[in-house]
Structure 1
Amino acid sequence: MRKDVLIAGFGGQGVLLAGNLLSYAAIEEGKNVSYFPAYGVEKRGGSATCTVVIADGAVGSPVVGQPSTLVVLNQASLERFGARVRPGGICIVNTSLVDVSALGRDDIKIIPVPMNEIATDLGDLRMVNMVALGAYAAVSGAVQLATLAGALKEALPERNHKYIPANVKAIETGAQIALEKTA
């Protein structure tokens, strides 16, 4: 088994935390992981991406030229990375901020998830990353949702552990919506 994902958005959307959490969950499940974060010099509003490769065997380079899955949180990221998704791959799109009509790809599966609306309905827009991660985990099967929930203690600083139940709810909701969109 080998899964790779490119998560892309802008600074402040929690892209790097999502990748880090995914990595911790994969390690908890005994898989090999490569996590490669990248971000612009700006703290908020600049580009933020990360690549996570999960495998049963050895993981080579953390750089993935054509990801099998792209999780895109904003329009600029779709425009920059949409063409790179491997044919037959998956693009999970935050339809709250992204219009996929200009992508022009019929060789990939597009899964629309209104991530901002879901996060807002759950009480905190900052949970958009958890909604996205739940959608990815459900669609890809890379890690179990319960493992993601358990890994929150590792990925979040202790002062934020009080938010774990809300984050778990966001992960579960993102997974549920993504599975409904693929049915």
Structure 2
Amino acid sequence: MADIILAGFGGQGILTAGKILIDIAARDGKNVSWTSSYGAEMRGGTASCSVVVSDEEIGSPYPTKLDILVVMNEPSYEKFIGDVRDGGYVIVNSSLVEEREYPKNVKVFTIDATSQASSLENSRAANLVMLGAMMKATGLIDPEKFGKGLNEYFEKKGFNSPKNLECYNIGYTQATAR
């Protein structure tokens, strides 16, 4: 079982990233849950979603200790870092989270997600870069299955672009363990 929080500013695709994750995990035969939390602002407020991915039945969709934390901005890092269990994973968007001494009890991976997505002329896809980094760090879902599932997710929505998979692949190949 993996208890996960994805967090950042509204408009960064946090809730969408969580939906993509549960869609692909469910198609991979996993049990999943997804809950969201966001500020009243349309864009720029805080947004997070809790995701649970498990081979077993899920008891609660609200994790108390996190196996994986994906943070897109500084306030989200500050809010949730203390909730990561020993040995857990923290995936950090180094574009918007300050360089620091990370806790020794967690495995940290960083990626300049915002800049990477912008360099591919897909600035709204920093969330996909972060999902790639998460797959590299955790191995939660086979990376090729995840890439295929990503394409299928966007095809279902009617707006798939090869740049989406490029953003995911950048995250997967360029995330750095700290």
Asked if TM exceeds 0.5, the reply is yes
Question: Structure 1 residue 157: deviation in Å?
Answer: 6.0
CA contact (8 A) 1:28 1:147 kept: no
- Determine the C-alpha separation between the residues in 2 that align with 1:174 and 1:159: 23
Helix, strand or coil for the counterpart of 1:68?
strand
CA contact (8 A) 1:38 1:50 kept: yes
Q: 1:159 to 1:44 in 2, by over 3 A?
A: same
The unaligned stretches of length 5 or more in structure 2 are none
Q: 1:104 to 1:129 in 2, by over 3 A?
A: closer
Summarize the alignment of residues 29-108 of structure 1 with structure 2, pairs less than 5 Å apart.
Answer: 29-101=28-100, 105-108=103-106
Structure 1 window deviating more from structure 2 (141-150 vs 71-80): it is: 141-150
The unaligned stretches of length 5 or more in structure 1 are none
- Give the structure 2 partner of residue 173 of structure 1: 170
Question: Structure 1 residue 100: deviation in Å?
Answer: 4.4
Question: Structure 1 residue 154: deviation in Å?
Answer: 3.3
CA contact (8 A) 2:3 2:65 kept: no
- Determine the C-alpha separation between the residues in 1 that align with 2:156 and 2:43: 20
Matched, 1:23 2:18: no
Helix, strand or coil for the counterpart of 2:109?
strand
Count of residue pairs the alignment pairs up: 177
- RMSD (Å) for aligned C-alpha atoms: 1.8
Question: Structure 1 residue 167: deviation in Å?
Answer: 0.7
TM-score, with structure 1 as normaliser: 0.89
CA contact (8 A) 1:116 1:125 kept: yes
Q: 1:104 to 1:31 in 2, by over 3 A?
A: closer
Question: Structure 1 residue 23: deviation in Å?
Answer: 0.3
Q: 1:91 to 1:115 in 2, by over 3 A?
A: same
- Determine the C-alpha separation between the residues in 2 that align with 1:57 and 1:32: 7
CA offset digits 1:8-62 (Å, max 9, x no partner):
0010000011000000100111111111121111110011101111111111111
More strand by share: 2
CA offset digits 1:89-116 (Å, max 9, x no partner):
1111111110142x76221122111111
**Which residue of 139, 142, 147 maps to 1:141?**
139
Q: 1:156 to 1:9 in 2, by over 3 A?
A: farther
- Determine the C-alpha separation between the residues in 2 that align with 1:143 and 1:87: 21
- Give the structure 2 partner of residue 120 of structure 1: 118
Structure 1 window deviating more from structure 2 (85-94 vs 21-30): it is: 85-94
Structure 1 window deviating more from structure 2 (80-89 vs 20-29): it is: 80-89
CA contact (8 A) 2:91 2:108 kept: yes
**Which residue of 106, 127, 130 maps to 1:129?**
127
TM-score, with structure 2 as normaliser: 0.91
- Determine the C-alpha separation between the residues in 2 that align with 1:11 and 1:108: 26
- Determine the C-alpha separation between the residues in 2 that align with 1:104 and 1:167: 29
CA contact (8 A) 2:109 2:137 kept: no
CA contact (8 A) 1:20 1:155 kept: no
